[in-house]
A = this chain, B = another copy of it.
Amino acid sequence: MKKYCYGICFLISVAINISFGVNLYIGDGPNQEISCRSSLTWSEKAAAEAEAVAAISCSGHGRAFLDGSISDGQPVCECYGCYSGTDCSELSPGCAADANSGDPIYLEPFWMQNAADTAVVISGWHRMSYEYADDPMMSPELDKYIRKLHSVAGNAITQDRYIVFGVGSSQLLSAAVYALSSQNSSSPSNVLASTPFYHLYKDQTRLFNSKNFVYRGDTNSWQTNNTDVIEFVTSPTNPGGELKKSVTGGKTILDHAYFWPQFTPIPGPSDHDLMIFSLSKLTGHAGTRFGWAIIKDKDVYDKVLNYIYLANAGISKDTQLRVLKVLKVAMKADGKPFFEFAYNQMSDRWNRLTSVFSKSTRFSIQRRHPLHCNFFHQTRQPSPAYAWVRCERQEDNDCAAVLNAGKIIGQSGSTFSAKDRYARLSLIKSQDDFELLMQRLTELVSLENHNIEMI
């Protein structure tokens, strides 16, 4: 960056000063400051540091971060899986494709393309208080934009509903169970989910080991007449990507983490009593732990709010500021640029994935059913975040192990309380990860078609 800048700094700055002079007459609010570089004072050092780190080349196979470990006075590249070297340029041959985690890096390019609009500058004295002026824990501005977002995406009713922020949707899952559970310890509520389901439902309920509720396993195995049921409904499902409804008719926690136009057609706005959404799968900012619950009933709202307050006195104000900025950009032009970018990423990946699996008899993936999407105003195939792979051969009863032998790392079915004949492959990681996954899958399927057995 320096060498480009050095030669032309002088001319640029002259031009800047002229444009600044003009701005004095045509300026309109804070933005008029922007072209006056000389107006920057206390924020400039941090801005220069951030740009210097962003300019460190990691060959597109990694990133340098402000809080990365330092070498020679500069943060070092953190390379994506299978890449190494100071600039992440070295691909390690025979490296396994890691499709294990739900790390939503597939949206990183969008945020890089929108760098200027999504950067956030936080002053040293930004919101030191526990409270906002008009709310003890939650940013009223952010609440407002979340409601706008749902009306733009058309995926949830927020009118006359309460919204509570949580540390990721994960915290809200347990807060919701507490809020819906029996207050009578002698008859705890029964927590259920339909297999295959996200392991956290079971793990959290068991960890808290509360007198108020107990984990009872799969909805299908629930035969008693006990109606005090709290059912986790994931819609779209993880894994699978199907839209679901409650099967028990009990109290329901709608986990809508994946209910966004890039993953599923949106048939219409969800209107359930307790719906949970997550920034992670919407914008890809998993590292920014932020989720929200939309709640119909005042008493349930008060209990969820009390849980968040007592557990950790709310969500970091820095995080809420960043989320506000990110959502404002995602909602530009009624969300079209953002959701189209995200959908195109996912549908391209699904097109390539299905063409590989279409050549296989050994492996199958979930069927997808087209639906009309009210956001895109088209009938579209879902493009779920995960492939749910079934190993068809009788002997392949540990599908994750079979894939692993083919240098593909996935999650075994039992992680989702399903059979190990199934395995989950993540499709939302970085482009590098996806390309390697395609390569390994192609190798695996071609071996099959050449009748060469896996070792």
Chain A residues near B (Cβ < 8 Å): 1-2, 5-6, 8-10, 12-14, 16-17, 20-21, 24, 27-34, 36-54, 63, 65-70, 72-74, 78-79, 101-105, 107-108, 111-112, 114-134, 139-142, 166-168, 170-171, 174, 178, 185, 200, 203-204, 207-212, 280, 284-290, 306-307, 310-322, 324-326, 329
Contacts and interface: CB of A to CB of B under 8 A. Distances in A.
A170 B311 contact: yes
Given A46-B121, A49-B30, A116-B45, A319 B316 contact: yes
A6 B34 contact: no
A212 B121 CA distance: 44
Given A67-B321, A129-B103, A40 B48 contact: yes
A125 B310 contact: no
B39 A129 contact: no
Given A307-B207, A316-B319, A51 B37 contact: no
15 contacts: A6-B21, A10-B14, A13-B37, A39-B51, A40-B44, A41-B116, A43-B116, A45-B119, A66-B321, A67-B320, A69-B133, A119-B122, A128-B287, A210-B210, A287-B317
Contact of A123 (B24, B50, B185, B287): B50
A287 B130 contact: yes
B290 A316 contact: yes
B111 A124 contact: yes
A302 B135 CA distance: 35
A22 to B, nearest CB: 11
Contacts of A325: 46, 124
A42 B55 CA distance: 11
A112 B124 CA distance: 7
A67 B311 contact: no
Given A39-B2, A51-B41, A168-B313, A73 B124 contact: no
A315 B289 contact: yes
A128 B111 contact: yes
A210 B49 CA distance: 47
A102 B131 CA distance: 11
